[in-house]
Amino acid sequence: MLKQTLGKYKLILGSKSPRRQMLMKGLDLDFEVITVDTDESYPKQIPTEDIPVYIALKKARAFDKIFMPDWLLITADTMVILDEQIIGKPHTRKHAQQMLRQLSGKKHSVITGVSLRTIDNERVFNCKTDVWFKPLPMKKLHTTSTATLPLDKAGRLRSTGMDRLTSE
């Protein structure tokens, strides 16, 4: 039924994210990946929980000059929020370890904002998931190799061997 509903559109995923591409493939839909560089800044006065939707919309509007009438464009942004503060993407092993220490034994939120856009309509929404970390064993954290730490990914701990340290 979903394929029939989408049949008149060319599905465009406006994201380089391998995880988003994997999700789309899991829906068994034909889609094309097209990306446009987008400034992901946002006004300071926006409530923290609204930032992912703001950026998802900004990413969608970056397609204005190339948007085609038969497209259904999907853009998204994900952020990790701890104590009303955005936890960015770790870029070094040390930074990743510091972030994991911050999250240890605490609850944080992962919020994804999504924009679905056609030539005539645009819908936006967000999805918020609360994640509780068990206290992380610091000795294991210090001995984890560089290759297994979650670098450059928001809200990403799967495949690190640390996934069993979180509770659903």
Secondary structure tally for the chain: helices H, strands E: 5, 7
Max Cα distance, the chain (Å): 55
77 among known catalytic residues:
yes
**116 closest CA partner among 156, 63, 49:** 63
Q: Are 113 and 56 in contact (CB under 8 A)?
A: yes
Which residue out of 77, 120, 130, 152 is catalytically annotated? 77
Residues annotated as catalytic are 77
